Amino acid sequence: MLEWSQIIQSLPLLLAGLWSTLQMSAVGLAIGFVIAVGVCGLRLSPRAVLRRLGGAYITIFRGVPLLIQLLFLYNVLPRLGLGVTPVVAAIAGLSLCCGAYIAEILRGGFLTLPRGQAESALMLGLSHRALLLRIQIPQVVRLTSPALVNEVILLIKASSLISVVGISELTRTAQNLAASTFLQLEFYLAAAALYCVLNVSLALLGSWLEIRLRRDRA
Q: Give the model confidence (pLDDT) of 99-116 as tens digits.
A: 999 999 999 988 888 877
Q: Where are the domains of the chain?
A: 4-217
Residue 204 has pLDDT above 70, yes or no: yes
The answer to whether 6 touches 183, Cβ cutoff 8 Å, is yes
Integer Cα distance of 12 and 19 in angstroms = 10
**Four-residue CA torsion sign, 125, 127, 128, 131:** negative
pLDDT at 43: 94
pLDDT at 217: 61
Q: How much is the pTM?
A: 0.87
pLDDT at 92: 94
According to CATH, the superfamily of the domain at 4-217 is MetI-like (1.10.3720.10)
Name the more confident of 104 and 213: 104
